[in-house]
Amino acid sequence: MILTVTLNTALDVTHRVPRLLPHASHRVTGVAERPGGKGLNVARVLGALGHPVTATGFAGGPAGTLVRELLAGCPGVTDALVPCSGTTRRTLAVVDETTGDTTQFNEPGPQITAGEWSAFLDRYTELAAGARAVALCGSLPPGVPVGAYATLVRTARTAGVPVLLDTSGEALRRGVAARPEIIKPNSAELAELTGSREPLPATRDARRRGAHAVVTSLGPGGLLAATPDGTWQAAPPRPLSGNPTGAGDSAVAGLLSALTEGLDWPARLTRAVALSAATVHAPVAGEFDPRTYEEVRGSVKVTPLR
């Protein structure tokens, strides 16, 4: 199985409105609730691809209860969330149906106690020992040590399990130093890590900081990957309009699933780009449009770079 970690899980609520205007009242045309947070989005996509996946992290309060109820309906996903005394955060996305743009509001998350963090570490160590790969995704809730991801990377590496790290800021900086198999920052997160806004040299610099491979999201431009086997840019055949929320999480699912299947880097990037593009055509994060996935997968251009 693949293990996903979402320390700051969320109840994601998506509202759709005909047009989003500041300082105005809006009539909502549709509402969707789903288990959220980057790692849970990854888990849902992996399950839809047919990969057994276990999801862990924290869940608490009424929102956490609803997250677990919704997660029970996700094919292929096993719930291994750890209870906490605080209340799981909510995120609110408002989709403008005229432009397709999405406005996001993210709560900070519950305060995690030292005892709850210790209980999670015990559960994670047990789960990681039986995993084929681990995804560490998203922000840290209050109370969790800033070096948490570095600790989790080292635990998985001790068990001989490859880790993909997808976070930002100081958590990413410390996590990279623990030498994960893959990191997947977007261009802004990569620039913050390396101090360079040039994606290619910044990606290579991030490898020198400890990551075995670095895959950078370029938005509509696809993915840029610096790996021990070479450097590539993988791009969809054309720009796609829609809701980009969760596209990066689907790319993580593509990379992890291809890694566990033993595919080479061009094939991994092709799957990741196709899933990312197909998520843009899906109504909410954690889902992808199968028709778009098959269409784009056959047309992704993977270019080797020097």
In the set 122, 249, 264, 289, the catalytic residue is 249
Q: Are 300 and 274 in contact (CB under 8 A)?
A: yes
Active site residue 249: yes
Question: Which residues touch 238 (CB under 8 Å, ≥6 apart)?
Answer: none
Cα distance between residue 182 and residue 281, in whole Å = 26
- Write down the number of H helices and E strands in the chain: 10, 15
Q: Are 303 and 265 in contact (CB under 8 A)?
A: no
Strand partners, 163: 134
* Structure-block tokens of residue 72: 């029970």
- DSSP letter assigned to residue 30: E
Cα distance between residue 8 and residue 103, in whole Å = 20
Could you tell me the sign of the dihedral formed by the alpha carbons of 30, 59, 78, 261, in that order? positive
Cα distance between residue 283 and residue 105, in whole Å = 17
* Structure-block tokens of residue 114: 């030292």
What's the CA angle centered on 150, arms 226 and 232, to 5 degrees? Answer: 10
Cα distance between residue 35 and residue 270, in whole Å = 27
Q: Which residues are catalytic?
A: 249
